[in-house]
Amino acid sequence: MPDTRQIVPHGKRRPTLRHAKTSDIGLGLTLAIEEKRGLKEIPDTRRIVFSAVLIAVFLMSSNPASAGKRTGATELDRVAYAVEGAESSHGTNIAMWRAEPAGPQGPMQVSEKAAIDAGGGNRFDVQQNRTLGRAYIDLLHKRYGNWLDAISAYNWGPGRVDGWIKQGRPAARLVPGVAGYVRRVIRDSGLSLISIAVQKPTNSP
């Protein structure tokens, strides 16, 4: 029986999933499924659509941000995940561990005071750090009654947000970095703009 295996010229290698283009992966999956099912001929249009679907599934499964938007995730889950992304790129930024012990630490950048307010725990343990950060953002959401102020307070500090609210929320006094942080977290969390709009900001801390 003749050997039908493809011969790879010397000096070249077969593309792997790591090096292949996303479109190649989608087409490869399509052809593999067709061969498995014995589908000899499929119209080009159907093949293109099927490849597009497979590519979309591949991208969703390979995108870390999708974990925070998984089916069944609560708004708190999604906000906490987005906050972690903004604070430490999901624990990949080595600068998340600071020299000052009482300062913000870990993937959620939880300070000593925030950890105490959230019920206490070991901020220097990665998993407990995430749990504390999630509990703290939940505490802030309950305090302010809306995500915009809660996320601002997580980044800027409740004291500063309280003072800003007492002054009537002047736009000129809102630090641009804080506004950008809030926009990023809201965007990455995938929160519904309708759900955000119906939340009434508190007029006092």
* pLDDT tens figures, 72-119: 799 999 999 999 999 999 999 999 999 999 999 999 999 999 999 999
Check whether residue 87 and residue 173 sit in a common domain: yes
pTM comes to 0.66
Establish if 203 belongs to a structural domain.
no
Same domain, 57 and 114: no
Whole-number Å distance between alpha carbons of 58 and 62: 6
Instruction: Measure Cα distances from 105 to 60, 114, 123, 137, 201 in Å.
Output: 30, 11, 7, 15, 29
* Same domain membership, residue 48 and residue 1: yes
Parent domain of 159:
66-197
Q: Check whether residue 70 and residue 56 sit in a common domain.
A: no
From 166, 161, 109, 167, select the one nearest 140 (Cα to Cα).
Answer: 161
pLDDT tier, 199 (very low <50, low <70, confident <90, very high otherwise): confident
Percent residues over pLDDT 90 in the chain? 58
Within this chain, do residues 71 and 154 fall inside the same structural domain, yes or no?
A: yes
Evaluate whether residue 2 is within a structural domain.
yes
In angstroms, rounded to a whole number, what is the distance separating the alpha carbons of residues 50 and 48?
A: 5
Domain boundary among 62, 80, 100: 62
| CATH number for position 136 | 1.10.530.10
118 within a domain of the structure (yes/no): yes
In a domain, 202, yes or no: no
Q: Name the domain count of the chain.
A: 2
Rounded-to-integer distance, Cα 14 and Cα 1, Å: 24
Residues 82 and 125 in one domain: yes
Shared domain for 171 and 98, answered yes or no, is: yes
Same domain, 173 and 114: yes
Same domain, 54 and 70: no
Among 43, 62, 81, where does a domain finish? 62
| 36 and 126, same domain (yes or no) | no
pLDDT band at 1 (very low <50, low <70, confident <90, very high): low
Looking at 50-64, 72-86, 143-157, which range is the least confident one?
50-64
Categorize the per-residue pLDDT at 39 as very low, low, confident or very high, splitting at 50, 70 and 90: very low
Residue entry with tokens 């947000």: 161
Provide, rounded to the nearest whole percent, the portion of the chain with pLDDT above 70.
61
